[in-house]
Amino acid sequence: MDSEETNTDTSKSVSVSVKRLYEFFQTVSGLSLFIAEFFKKVFIPPYEFAEIKKHMDELGVKTLPIVSVTGFIIGLVLAMQSQPVMIRFGAGSFLPGMVALSVVRELGPVITALIFAGRVSSGIGAELGSMRVTEQIDAMEVSAINPFRFLVVTRVVACTLILPMLTIYVIFLSLFGSFLAILLSQGISFQLYLNAVVHSIEFSDLIPGIAKTFFFGFIVGIVGAYKGYNTENGTEGVGKASTSSVVISSLLILLVDMVLVKVTLMIWSN
């Protein structure tokens, strides 16, 4: 009796695993085709500049408060946490440079991208998903307007362009946060702090850090748009599209970051 139940449970869990694996490959292939469609459409006129600008405004304004707070706190906390250790090793004077390097190379871009994914990818997924289930996308298509170009391309381009701007803003706020932390504990002057930061950051730190945010912005936009544009099963599907957009885009950001860090190190070490 027990062995029969165990066999049934095992076969159930195997079929669930097979189903999940199938869904995973379905998502990968669907997303790849979606990305190919994006590149097919993005370079062909008409270019929707007004719509792209509108989305950049909306996305920027929507994300600004949360990234401002996060950016400031990251810099502040990083300086506060690192200070005792740096002093213990007699490297207290390197603290501004260490914080600046961490924020510029890794923390600024990745944390801004993850917050952006949580805020924007879910929003795009839910918005396009609800347009899909209420037939608004079909209405656009039947009116001889290409919904992919109007809804997807514009949002993905806006995400790709706005995230680097937000990242630069976050980096400045983090540096300001770390300056305040060091000022309060060591009484450092702004001029001295600035000199330490400027001397510790090189071109090879700044450019890769900012460049990878274009990829992250693209991931956030394309995943949210893919999930929303292909929503099924009514309002339940909209919820799923919104949630899975955040999960997939966050994971992809971390994976792509890992690859890009390796590529960057290979390029700049030469």
Partner 1 sequence: MAEVEVRNLSKTFGDTVVLDNISLKINEGENVVVFGRSGTGKSVLIKCIVRLLEPDSGEVFIEGQNILSLSENKLNEVRKQIGFLFQSAALYDSMSVRENLSFPLIRNFNFTAKEVETKVKSALEKVSLEEAIDKMPAELSGGMKKRIGLARTIITEPKLILYDEPTTGLDPITTKEISQLIVELQKDLKTTSIVVTHDLICAKIIASHAVVLKDGRIKYEGNLENLVSTSDPFLKDFFTSDMLEVKNGSVK
Nearest to 250 by CA among 124, 142, 117: 117
Kindly write out the interface string for residues 126-145 of this chain, putting x where it contacts partner 1 by CB under 8 A and - elsewhere.
-x--xx--xxx-xxxxxxxx
- What stretch of H or E contains 77? helix 49-88
CB-nearer residue toward partner 1: 145 or 254: 145
| Smallest distance from partner 1 to CB 16, Å | 21
Rule CB under 8 A: say whether 26 interacts with partner 1.
Answer: no
Residue 232: strand, helix, or coil = coil
| Smallest distance from partner 1 to CB 248, Å | 25
Two tokens, residue 214: 């274009």
CB-nearer residue toward partner 1: 61 or 144: 144
Rule CB under 8 A: say whether 29 interacts with partner 1.
Answer: no
Rule CB under 8 A: say whether 241 interacts with partner 1.
Answer: no
CB-nearer residue toward partner 1: 83 or 130: 130
Residue 247 near residue 125, CB atoms below 8 Å: no
| Smallest distance from partner 1 to CB 131, Å | 7
Whole-angstrom distance, CA of residue 158 vs CA of residue 222: 11
| Smallest distance from partner 1 to CB 240, Å | 20
Nearest to 60 by CA among 135, 200, 147, 161: 161
Residue 235 near residue 253, CB atoms below 8 Å: no
| Smallest distance from partner 1 to CB 58, Å | 10
Rule CB under 8 A: say whether 51 interacts with partner 1.
Answer: no
What are the Cα distances from residue 52, in Å, to 150, 157, 240?
Answer: 9, 7, 26
Count of residues that interact with partner 1, criterion CB under 8 A? 15
Residue 147 near residue 140, CB atoms below 8 Å: yes
Binding site for partner 1 (CB under 8 A): 127, 130-131, 134-136, 138-146
